[in-house]
Amino acid sequence: MSQATHNNEARRPGMRALAIAGRVLFPPLSIFGFWYLAVAFLGLPDFVIPRPGAVLSVLINENHFILENLWPTLQAAALGYLLANVVGIALAVIVTSVPFLNQLLMPAAITLRNVPYVALATVLALAIGDTMLSKVLILTIAGFFPVMVNTVRGIQSVDSVVLDRMRILDVSPWRVFWQVRLPYSLPFIMAAQEIVGSASISIAIAAEWMLSSSGLGYVINRAMSQYRGDEVYAVALLAALISYVVYLLIQYASRKLDWLGKTRPTK
Amino acid sequence: MSQATHNNEARRPGMRALAIAGRVLFPPLSIFGFWYLAVAFLGLPDFVIPRPGAVLSVLINENHFILENLWPTLQAAALGYLLANVVGIALAVIVTSVPFLNQLLMPAAITLRNVPYVALATVLALAIGDTMLSKVLILTIAGFFPVMVNTVRGIQSVDSVVLDRMRILDVSPWRVFWQVRLPYSLPFIMAAQEIVGSASISIAIAAEWMLSSSGLGYVINRAMSQYRGDEVYAVALLAALISYVVYLLIQYASRKLDWLGKTRPTK
Amino acid sequence: MSETDLSIGAGQFVALVGPSGCGKTTLLRLTADLDQPSTGQVAIGDMPPSAARKQRRLGLVSQRPAVLPWKRAIDDVRFTQVCTGKSGLSAEDLLRDFGLAQHEKKLPHHLSGGMLQRVNFASAIAHDPDVLLMDEPFSALDEMKREELGLWLGKVLAERPKTVLFVTHHVDEAVLLADRVLVFSASPGRIVADIPVTTPRPRTAAFRTHPEFVELTNQVRGLLFGKQEAHA
Amino acid sequence: MSETDLSIGAGQFVALVGPSGCGKTTLLRLTADLDQPSTGQVAIGDMPPSAARKQRRLGLVSQRPAVLPWKRAIDDVRFTQVCTGKSGLSAEDLLRDFGLAQHEKKLPHHLSGGMLQRVNFASAIAHDPDVLLMDEPFSALDEMKREELGLWLGKVLAERPKTVLFVTHHVDEAVLLADRVLVFSASPGRIVADIPVTTPRPRTAAFRTHPEFVELTNQVRGLLFGKQEAHA
Amino acid sequence: QPKLEEVKVALFWLRNGEVSSLMVADAKGYFAEQGLKVTLVDGGPGRNPVPVVGAGQADFGVAPGSEVVRARLAPAPVDVVAIGSMEQVMPLAYIKLGNPGDPDPTPKDLEGKTVGIQAPGKFFLESMLKRNNIDPSKVKTSIVLGTPEPLMVGKVDYFAGFLTNQTYQIEQEALKPNAPPAVKGKTWKAIPFYKYGLAMPTNVVFATNKTLKERPETVRKFMRALAMGMKFDHENTAEAIKLVDAYPAQLERADKLAWRAKIQHPLEVNSGTQANGLLWTDPKVWTEMMDFYKEAGEINRVVPASEVMTNAFNAGIKLAK
Ligand SMILES: Nc1ncnc2c1ncn2[C@@H]1O[C@H](COP(=O)(O)OP(=O)(O)OP(=O)(O)O)[C@@H](O)[C@H]1O
Ligand SMILES: Nc1ncnc2c1ncn2[C@@H]1O[C@H](COP(=O)(O)OP(=O)(O)OP(=O)(O)O)[C@@H](O)[C@H]1O
Ligand SMILES: [Mg+2]
Ligand SMILES: [Mg+2]
């Protein structure tokens, strides 16, 4: 009895099949459903909001140029995402362990984040040029803040009784960080991953749009100047799909990593 | 003894004075310090990165046009911030209480967030025009996601033993949400506020830059076409200052609201 | 835990004793409609647990305190009343009776372990439920407080009869308070004895010297600890 | 709590009894260098608490379990050893001795209340500390487990002498195990008596019938509960 | 007083001296004389006038001719037609820093040099080089943003910019006492694209076919007033500058407007406008432009010039000279 009783997740097989069907069918239903609603509701001509059919046909038949430019964007997004995490978590650690650095770093961090992107792009383009690094820096600047803020909260959420245990045992701050604070922060850090991870493609695209001649951002730039709304939205759709996959991967990783999930009651 | 023992925050008066001095002096030190560092390190002439002196002089002597355009930006930022919260929290509630809606809404939410801003701006400019609503919608689309993701995590972080208590008492889901789940989520929700709140000014500016003829974004647009880098950075500095103030206000509110802070050990 | 049928008569006080980890809390959760039994059935009076719960007739003193971290003691107790819409027992009186008059404005993390347990107890019964499910409610209390609260409970039950399921590790307490003592075995956890206590409630501390008390406590200890000699 | 000086001799077993909320946990935290006393002084052997802590000679069994929610029982016990770099007692042996051999792979929220308390105990002493600070370590256990663990502790202390500060609500347990029983009064919490137990340790269950035991338990109960007659 | 017909004009960018003719026509009351009340709608990064006019939210638009061509020939075409051009050539040029006395450079001078271009501009450079029999592989390119900083900090030798735009900033920076060494005492020298490449109408006025069909009189009146504005701007430049300077929300001050007029006025007229009237636009140039974009792969078909432009609404107003 004790198994069944404590396992609230037991599902009937019918429910399972439905769940799988939902997982496969719901995303397209969701995306195209809302798209058609927008088209119908806004009443704009199709050179402004192209119809899903035209966009899909671009993705299927004219994808060469898009796919060619997918790789640099993915690279920039992945590197920027990584760096945003490194910087964000490092800052969180610094700021929580040396409180006065909080007041010293935070205003600069917020200012950096508030330099208008166009001004930032100008500076980066001149200082570094149209390179991977420029894009990665823009992504870092756009992404480190949510990671930092959430990690700080996470670090502060550690159960005080466990910290007492660490103090009694005179455990090094380093180990406490890696083995206690970081795992305790995971629910917060994983939330930041969902936020930053699923946005990194579209930020990479925005960065490319401003300062690069490769990548999906450039494709959009070119497509807009050619009045190829269908191509613009094809890129947007592709970006959304990738972001959704990233989001699902992060959710999967959360479920694996996140101890909170294991103590969580299912309803 | 018990007071002193349990009050780890007791500070010597010297420390207190230092803390206040730090709070006042550190922000400018931080901002201008890093600014000069950037100037020195990048070695770019002042028409690329204007010097703080020139920028401050714009803020002090030529602030008329800037201040005139501050109000619409603040309005848009405040409304957008509010709406992002309403939408984000509502979606979090929907998604956690009716799991299958998760799969139905999430892909659309992520797609919406990934429509390139230029395409979005074009659509909004045509559908709604250069109005407050367009800006507010851009802010909402940019901001609802962090609020939603963090709130979902927060809702899931509720102690199961308290949920059992609510179940035993057959408390309505509505009350459980307002009186249990929401307060439990506060550490997560306040983190989202720090993320979204302090970004809303700069997103409002970006929105105005693209589609409005009023507000700080318009000032930047105009300043750029007049090669007034100093004015661009004056706006950026003003935006950063406002964002920092918003950030401090949110931190203050967190300390007032957040029960986690009260259980948190100080180090 | 193997199949268990449990039915508790209305107004009965049932004590549950058994070694740590045998399934007492699990059985209590079934009775509280927090988990569903895979086999077997649980009945309170003649109701299934879900019906009792839906009628807001249950009160649960959980083993780990279920207080809200941001509510002061008195507000947490009142929260139960607000949630159920039943004013039941006065929150101030409860905390005063429990020796917490000075501490009613404290937040949970400013309370000692035993104080917290008492607040948890007060919060669980503040709506004056008909069915009271208690999971080691006095484990963090000193002997005097434990005795006091036991007597207090006896008095309340005399005034307002309730159906009670009471998990404890104190054999004496079980026999002193209950109409029926259920003895659990360790793995596989199941009910090995269902011992009625015939002396009518409420009983006083004097019952400790009554032959039935001595006999029953010895019998229960024998069941729990095997051949071994019983000790205080 | 008013000014208190406490000094515990090396190798001494000091028990601390007193009503709930009187400051036992607070005193233990001072001894553990978790809080600083505003007045008064605490010494373990001839060391201040901070020195003992820095030398990793402390072990603390906290009142609320301090296990890591994501670690299985055995890993949590080993974590103490990894952190201190002291292999101390074997983690498997500890859990087996505590009756948790079957449950060593379970996560904390899959353990019953009493099991969790035993894991917490095992984790606190796994590095074999010289100074053992215990805050109601057996409160969630049944009488048999409590007795077993008490005897186990006696055996370990005989083999590897330790300085012990032991908070409990069980007067019997205090007298049975300790060299010195400190009795706390309720507010203002302060030490009202410091009662030596002269019979040498380790003692067996037979000590319960020894005149010193009976006398001392009565004396302590008298101090705790005033004129009132003592009860089991 | 008769009620004026409201007419909206969507601009490509914020209002500045580039569209001075519009503002002069308004300020002088020429539109009102024709029974029109004109409202200018600023453009910007997210506000392209082509879809704005295409979606019917403005009656007229001002944009580079290339935009009209590309929009008209896109797979989901925008129904816009050019009805005149305020600038007969695109002022794109490859600009370098030089001493005031230096001769103007020619495409040949680009050999072995680095040219800073914007991402979509590579085709322009290559096309111009080919037209002048220069091997494009001999010219290095570097992608930059639309501001002249890379030229002024010496990152590139030439910079693809507009004669009416970035050159001003170069002049301004060169005057400053703390000007960077690369700029100090220098001035700009340019290889204009219209001279060695193609003439492309730039400040093109356009409307939808629907408007042309349903409200031809309005279009005619609009074009007449605009041409009168341009005529005044050219013939009474000093006074026009004052009017534009005072025009609401106009970005440029008198000195800048005067500077601009010197450079821009010659680009606004040619033999065609002398013969047929201001704003007149040459169908041949449009055909060349379509061929150019077809070759660049920016459009996938070429149509008769009459499908993308018309002079049917030209008022025939000419400069006095
Ligand atoms: N949430 C859970 N998921 C899986 N197993 C559980 C869970 N809670 C308890 N168990 C297991 O069920 C068994 C019975 O646990 P239960 O909590 O009912 O014991 P108990 O009799 O209340 O013990 P104690 O006196 O120590 O509180 C134990 O073996 C325990 O490991
Ligand atoms: N973190 C804290 N902040 C402020 N006051 C506290 C804190 N912890 C305990 N107290 C107060 O200090 C007093 C002593 O608490 P302590 O936890 O030491 O009691 P105790 O003797 O351990 O009681 P118990 O047997 O119930 O655990 C209580 O009045 C309590 O309210
Ligand atoms: Mg239990
Ligand atoms: Mg305590």
Q: Kindly report the protein residue whose alpha carbon is nearest to atom 28 of ligand 2.
A: D21
What percentage of chain C reaches a pLDDT higher than 70? 95
Q: Is residue A9 scored above 80 in pLDDT? A: no
Q: Is residue B5 scored above 70 in pLDDT? A: no
pLDDT per residue as tens digits for the range A132-161: 998 999 999 999 999 999 999 999 889 999
The D residues from 31 to 90 touching C (CB cutoff 8 Å) are 63-64
* Contact flag D231-C143 (C-beta cutoff 8 Å): yes
Q: Which residues of C are less than 8 Å from D103 in CB distance?
A: 21
* Contact flag A54-E150 (C-beta cutoff 8 Å): no
Distance between first and last Cα of chain E? 36
Would you state the pLDDT for residue B19? Answer: 73
Q: What is the ipTM of this complex?
A: 0.87
Contact C149, C141 (CB under 8 A): yes
Instruction: Please give the average per-residue pLDDT across A58-65, as a whole number.
Output: 89
Would you state the pLDDT for residue A141? Answer: 92
User: Pick the residue with more confidence: A20 or C34?
Assistant: C34
How many Å lie between the centroid of ligand 3 and the Cα of residue C129? 21
Would you state the pLDDT for residue D219? Answer: 92
pLDDT band at B262 (very low <50, low <70, confident <90, very high): low
**DSSP, res D34:** S
User: What distances in angstroms separate CA C170 from CA A27, B187, C175, D141, one per listed residue?
Assistant: 57, 40, 9, 10
**D127 CA to chain B: closest CA distance, Å?**
25
| pTM of the complete model | 0.88
CB-based pocket (< 6 A), ligand 1: A 2, 6; C 18, 20-26, 63; D 103, 106, 109-115, 140
Would you state the pLDDT for residue B13? Answer: 66
Q: Is residue E196 scored above 60 in pLDDT? A: yes
Would you state the pLDDT for residue C10? Answer: 86
CA distance D106 to A69: 49
pLDDT band at E137 (very low <50, low <70, confident <90, very high): very high
Q: Is residue E236 scored above 90 in pLDDT? A: yes
Contact C197, C212 (CB under 8 A): yes
Would you state the pLDDT for residue B32? Answer: 85
Best C1, C17, C20, C35 member to test D by mutation, with max D CBs in 10 Å, is C20
Residues of C with CB under 8 A from a CB of A: 1-4, 23, 26, 29-30, 35-40, 109
What percentage of chain D reaches a pLDDT higher than 70? 95
pLDDT per residue as tens digits for the range D142-155: 888 888 898 899 88
Give all chains having 3 or more CB-to-CB distances under 8 Å with chain D.
A, B, C
Mean pLDDT of chain E: 92
pLDDT band at B8 (very low <50, low <70, confident <90, very high): very low
SS3 (DSSP) at B110: helix
**DSSP, res A49:** S
Q: Which of A109-118, C136-145, E175-184 has the highest mean pLDDT?
A: C136-145
pLDDT per residue as tens digits for the range E87-131: 999 999 999 999 988 999 999 999 999 999 986 788 899 999 999
Q: Is residue A99 scored above 90 in pLDDT? A: no
**D224 CA to chain C: closest CA distance, Å?**
8
**Least confident stretch, D34-43, E185-194, E309-318:** D34-43
Task: Choose the closest CB to C62 out of B164, B169, B180.
Answer: B164
**C121 CA to chain A: closest CA distance, Å?**
23
E vs D contact (3+ beta-carbon pairs below 8 A): no
Q: Which residues of B are less than 8 Å from A119 in CB distance?
A: 220, 229, 232-233, 236
Q: Sort C159 into a burial class: Cβ within 10 Å, 0-12 / 13-18 / 19+.
A: exposed
- Kindly provide the residue ranges of all beta strands, DSSP E only, lying in chain C, ordered along the sequence: 6-8, 13-17, 42-44, 58-61, 131-135, 163-167, 180-184, 191-196
How many Å lie between the centroid of ligand 2 and the Cα of residue B2? 8
Q: Which of A116-130, A220-234, B43-57 has the highest mean pLDDT?
A: A220-234
Mean pLDDT of chain B: 85
Q: Is residue B7 scored above 70 in pLDDT? A: no
CB count, 10 Å around CB of B28?
A: 12
Contact B171, C54 (CB under 8 A): no
Verify whether ligand 2 is closer than 6 Å to residue D146 (CB atom): no
SS3 (DSSP) at A239: helix
User: Pick the residue with more confidence: B49 or E291?
Assistant: E291
Instruction: Please give the average per-residue pLDDT across E180-208, as a whole number.
Output: 92
* Contact flag B2-D1 (C-beta cutoff 8 Å): yes
* Contact flag B220-A30 (C-beta cutoff 8 Å): no
Shortest CA distance to D153 belongs to which of D183, D121, D179? D121
pLDDT per residue as tens digits for the range A109-120: 888 888 877 778
**Dihedral, D167, D168, D174, D178 alpha carbons, nearest 10:** -20
pLDDT per residue as tens digits for the range C45-66: 878 888 999 999 999 999 999 9
**C123 CA to chain D: closest CA distance, Å?**
18
User: Pick the residue with more confidence: C204 or D85?
Assistant: D85
pLDDT band at C69 (very low <50, low <70, confident <90, very high): very high
Residues of B with CB under 8 A from a CB of D: 1-6, 8, 160
In this structure, is the dihedral angle defined by the CA atoms of residues A58, A63, A64 and A70, taken in order, positive or negative? Answer: positive
Q: Which residues pair with C8 in a beta bridge?
A: C44
pLDDT band at C44 (very low <50, low <70, confident <90, very high): confident
Would you state the pLDDT for residue A13? Answer: 66
Q: Is residue E145 scored above 90 in pLDDT? A: no
Residue given tokens 């500095």 in the structure block: B237
pLDDT band at B107 (very low <50, low <70, confident <90, very high): confident
pLDDT band at B260 (very low <50, low <70, confident <90, very high): low
What percentage of chain E reaches a pLDDT higher than 70? 99
How many Å lie between the centroid of ligand 2 and the Cα of residue B8? 15
pLDDT per residue as tens digits for the range A30-60: 888 888 888 888 878 878 888 888 899 999 9
pLDDT band at E17 (very low <50, low <70, confident <90, very high): very high
Instruction: Please give the average per-residue pLDDT across B126-151, as a whole number.
Output: 91
Would you state the pLDDT for residue B33? Answer: 85
Instruction: Please give the average per-residue pLDDT across B56-76, as a whole number.
Output: 92
How many Å lie between the centroid of ligand 4 and the Cα of residue D86? 28
CA D38 and chain centroid, separation: 24
* Contact flag A264-B156 (C-beta cutoff 8 Å): yes
A vs D contact (3+ beta-carbon pairs below 8 A): yes
The E residues from 35 to 54 touching B (CB cutoff 8 Å) are 42, 44-48, 51-52
Would you state the pLDDT for residue B265? Answer: 42
Verify whether ligand 2 is closer than 6 Å to residue D29 (CB atom): no
* Contact flag D63-C205 (C-beta cutoff 8 Å): no
Would you state the pLDDT for residue B45? Answer: 73
* Contact flag B167-C53 (C-beta cutoff 8 Å): yes
CA distance B188 to A183: 16
**DSSP, res E309:** B
Q: Kindly report the protein residue whose alpha carbon is nearest to atom 10 of ligand 1.
A: D110
Angle between helices A70-97 and A216-225 (to 10 degrees): 120
Would you state the pLDDT for residue E1? Answer: 65
Shortest CA distance to A9 belongs to which of A212, A266, A244? A266
* Contact flag A169-D83 (C-beta cutoff 8 Å): yes
Give all chains having 3 or more CB-to-CB distances under 8 Å with chain B.
A, C, D, E
Residue given tokens 């079980």 in the structure block: C174
| CA-atom Rg of chain C in angstroms | 17
Please give the number of the atom of ligand 1 that sits closest to the Cα of D112.
Answer: 17
Q: Could you tell which of D112, D139, D144, D146 is best to mutate to test the pocket of ligand 1, judged by most ligand atoms within 8 Å of the CB?
A: D112
* Contact flag D113-C136 (C-beta cutoff 8 Å): yes
**E106 CA to chain A: closest CA distance, Å?**
27
pLDDT band at C136 (very low <50, low <70, confident <90, very high): very high
pLDDT per residue as tens digits for the range C82-118: 999 998 889 999 999 999 999 999 999 899 999 999 9
* Residue E110 main-chain phi, psi, to 5 deg: -75, -20
Would you state the pLDDT for residue E261? Answer: 96
Instruction: Please give the average per-residue pLDDT across A170-184, as a whole number.
Output: 92
Q: Is residue B161 scored above 90 in pLDDT? A: yes
Which residue from D minimizes the CA distance to B1?
D38
Instruction: Please give the average per-residue pLDDT across C120-126, as a whole number.
Output: 95
Ligand number nearest CA of C184 is: 1
pLDDT band at A2 (very low <50, low <70, confident <90, very high): very low
Q: Sort D219 into a burial class: Cβ within 10 Å, 0-12 / 13-18 / 19+.
A: middle
Q: Which residues of E are less than 8 Å from A221 in CB distance?
A: 119-120
Kindly state the helix (H) or strand (E) to which residue A128 belongs, with its residue range: none
Query: Is any Cβ of chain D less than 8 angstroms from the Cβ of C113?
Result: yes
The E residues from 226 to 255 touching B (CB cutoff 8 Å) are 249, 251-252
CA distance E291 to E166: 28
**Least confident stretch, A191-195, D121-125, E73-77, E119-123:** E119-123
Would you state the pLDDT for residue B2? Answer: 37
Which residue from B minimizes the CA distance to E53?
B126
Would you state the pLDDT for residue D3? Answer: 57
Q: Which residues of B are less than 8 Å from A33 in CB distance?
A: 108
- Residues 6 or more apart in contact with residue E235 via CB below 8 angstroms: E319, E320
Mean pLDDT of chain A: 85
* Contact flag D40-B1 (C-beta cutoff 8 Å): yes
pLDDT band at D232 (very low <50, low <70, confident <90, very high): very low
Q: Kindly report the protein residue whose alpha carbon is nearest to atom 22 of ligand 1.
A: C25
What percentage of chain D reaches a pLDDT higher than 90? 58
